[in-house]
A and B are shown apart, each in its own frame.
Chain A
Amino acid sequence: MTKLTFITHNGTHFQINAADGSTVMENAVRNAVPGIEAECGGSCTCATCHIYLDEAWVAELGEPGETEADMLDFAYDVQPNSRLSCQIKVRAELDGLVVRVPERQG
């Protein structure tokens, strides 16, 4: 189990034990973290699972993939640390990952 923290727009913290191999998006949905809609269910085609990576994790996670970068173009208030959470797979090295949920999706 890998620990993830979601911080919603109003500052609520959700601490979640995530199974390795699951996506960050799936963990947000299963735990009813508000603000993650994930309308396409992880197919990288809706851009409603947008999150901001905590700066400390940007290097570890690297750049978004090509499709992800294109889809991010449709998200609201995109920043350099923006990612689509359905494209991030949980693994042991991500223990302690912190992500922020934007004010709204799309």
Chain B
Amino acid sequence: MKNGVVIIGAGHAGVQAAASLRELGYDQPVILLSDEPELPYHKPPLSKMFIKDAEGKAQPLRGEAFYAGSAIDFRPGVRIERIDVCRRSLEVAGGGVTNFDNLILATGSRPRTLALPGADLSGVLSLRSLADARLIRDLSAQSEDVVILGGGFIGLEIAATLRAGGRTVSVLEAADRLLGRAVGPMVAAHVRRRLEATGARILLGTTVASFEGKNGHVSAIITSSGERLPARMVVVGIGALPNVELAQAAGLTVGNGIHVDHQMRSSAQEILAIGDVASYHHWFTGSRVRLESVQNATDQARLAARTIMGQGDAFSAVPWFWSDIDDMKLQMVGLTAGGDSHVLLGSLPDNKFSIYHFAGQRLLGIESVNRPSDHILGRKMLAARFSPTPRMVIEGSNTSLNTAIADHLKQGRAGAVL
């Protein structure tokens, strides 16, 4: 052991993996490679605060001093082209080879693109990196009319931010509702109403049929129903694809993401994969998932570090996610798809409510809008592997549920056990 751990990708997952290795006392080299030029930064603010403020700076994940101070060899601007599994080495773009004992693939995901003529006009953008966010910020400052393609979290966050900045904003969504992959229909309808009340136009069941351009820059889009929407900027937010190409070329097992086991190991023992790029059997659903969230990235990173240290327990973190859209703080805990009953607490008109999703008597998760106390309670319940029944939620209070969690932890039995 002397080549240590090499990590490809310095996003939320890669940086946390490096930090966790040092926290656990790993004493071999840790090399963190990034194809971006900057100090690693937080992605969520890019679609929220960052594009609003011409002076705003990226928020570093860790200060510059952290890397040297923790003996993490951070190398920006380095793109890896090939993995040689047998030799345990990497080929760097432009020449050079780096050897590893363990490799962590934290290559993230990239925006899905549109295969339509005109999608390559200037002014048609997508958002993943700080460089993308700078383009969107600069162009939106000169754009009266903006069209967002896709009604997912990133698209809606951008729509809300630009609308608040006085732009004319239209959102096109192919499905018959917003946020189809992420939240239930009730929260989606609420978000739609609130956004429409700000003056944003939301066109459901609508896609882009074609683009119009002037001198190579987009000027309008034509919708699938034939409407012409002027646009100096179009943001494509139609989902993300995992960056699996390196792993695939190296012969690792890959599907929708790099397949990893419950300890984050890929089909090659010494190579692990974490974050947006990893696909795994989730303890909570029992099925294979690939999640895109900060929590997923950092908790998998912590586990990958434990695995390398020989302490690898099975992945057991509680999934959670947030989004800030206009005056709505959305917080999701658990994985709520497939629920068959739902309990609503709070009030939609007050813009403060939570929806508890159940499959039978088992709590799948909670979606909250401006009700952080329910979100926190949900994180505690799932972490304790405690499920209240729907009746306990309807008839009880957060205080009674907190007591039930405590009892459950003491006796291992109160309500249904997850």
Contact B62 A41 (CB under 8 A): no
Question: Which residues of A are found within 8 Å of B379, using beta-carbon distances?
Answer: 74
Q: How far is the CA of A33 from the CA of B66 in the complex (A)?
A: 8
Contact B63 A71 (CB under 8 A): no
Interface check B322, CB cutoff 8 A: yes
Contact B59 A45 (CB under 8 A): no
Q: How far is the CA of A45 from the CA of B314 in the complex (A)?
A: 25
Expressed in whole angstroms, the minimum distance between the Cβ of A6 and any Cβ of chain B is: 12
Contact A71 B62 (CB under 8 A): no
Partner of B372, one of A26, A30, A41, A67: A67
Known: A39-B294, A73-B373. A30 touches B63 (CB 8 A): yes
Contact A67 B59 (CB under 8 A): no
Known: A42-B45, A70-B373, A74-B380. A32 touches B63 (CB 8 A): yes
Contact B60 A29 (CB under 8 A): yes
Expressed in whole angstroms, the minimum distance between the Cβ of A39 and any Cβ of chain B is: 6
Across the interface, name the chain A residue whose C-beta is closest to B19: A37
Q: How far is the CA of A42 from the CA of B50 in the complex (A)?
A: 12
Known: A30-B60, A32-B62. A43 touches B376 (CB 8 A): no
Contact with A along B114-144 (1 / 0, CB 8 A): 0000000000000000000000000000000
Known: A32-B62, A32-B69. A41 touches B45 (CB 8 A): yes
Interface check A1, CB cutoff 8 A: no
Interface check B312, CB cutoff 8 A: no
Interface check B324, CB cutoff 8 A: yes
Across the interface, name the chain B residue whose C-beta is closest to A25: B59
Interface check B44, CB cutoff 8 A: yes
Across the interface, name the chain B residue whose C-beta is closest to A27: B63
Known: A32-B69, A45-B331. A74 touches B376 (CB 8 A): yes
Interface check A40, CB cutoff 8 A: yes
Interface size class of B (residues with CB under 8 A): 20 to 34
Known: A32-B66, A39-B294, A39-B298. A73 touches B60 (CB 8 A): no
Q: How far is the CA of A90 from the CA of B178 in the complex (A)?
A: 38
Interface check A10, CB cutoff 8 A: no
Q: How far is the CA of A29 from the CA of B59 in the complex (A)?
A: 9
Expressed in whole angstroms, the minimum distance between the Cβ of B59 and any Cβ of chain A is: 5
Residue of A31, A32, A44 most packed against chain B (CB within 10 A): A32
Q: Which residues of A49-90 have CB atoms within 8 Å of chain B's CB atoms? A: 67, 70-71, 73-74
Contact A71 B376 (CB under 8 A): yes
Residue of B60, B298, B376 most packed against chain A (CB within 10 A): B376
Expressed in whole angstroms, the minimum distance between the Cβ of A86 and any Cβ of chain B is: 10
Question: Which residues of A are found within 8 Å of B324, using beta-carbon distances?
Answer: 43
Known: A70-B373, A71-B376. A45 touches B66 (CB 8 A): no
The number of residues on chain A lying at the interface, defined by a beta carbon within 8 Å of a beta carbon of chain B, is: 18
Contact A70 B42 (CB under 8 A): no
Contact A31 B376 (CB under 8 A): no
Contact B322 A70 (CB under 8 A): no
Q: How far is the CA of A68 from the CA of B208 in the complex (A)?
A: 41
Contact A45 B373 (CB under 8 A): no
Q: How far is the CA of A40 from the CA of B376 in the complex (A)?
A: 14
Q: How far is the CA of A66 from the CA of B376 in the complex (A)?
A: 13
Partner of A31, one of B63, B295, B370, B375: B63
Expressed in whole angstroms, the minimum distance between the Cβ of B198 and any Cβ of chain A is: 20
Interface check B362, CB cutoff 8 A: no
Q: Which residues of B359-396 have CB atoms within 8 Å of chain A's CB atoms? A: 370, 372-373, 375-376, 379-380
Across the interface, name the chain A residue whose C-beta is closest to B67: A32
Q: How far is the CA of A58 from the CA of B380 in the complex (A)?
A: 28
Contact B65 A31 (CB under 8 A): yes
Q: How far is the CA of A83 from the CA of B415 in the complex (A)?
A: 33
Contact A41 B59 (CB under 8 A): yes
Across the interface, name the chain B residue whose C-beta is closest to A48: B298
A/B interface sample: 19 pairs, CB < 8 A: A29-B59, A29-B60, A29-B61, A30-B60, A30-B63, A31-B63, A39-B298, A40-B294, A41-B45, A43-B48, A43-B322, A43-B324, A44-B329, A45-B331, A45-B375, A71-B372, A73-B373, A73-B376, A74-B380
7 extra interface residue pairs, beta carbon distance < 8 Å, beyond A32-B62, A40-B322, A42-B59: A30-B64, A31-B65, A32-B65, A41-B44, A41-B59, A43-B324, A73-B376
Q: Which residues of B contact A (CB under 8 A)?
A: 42, 44-45, 48, 59-66, 69, 294-295, 298, 322, 324, 329, 331, 370, 372-373, 375-376, 379-380
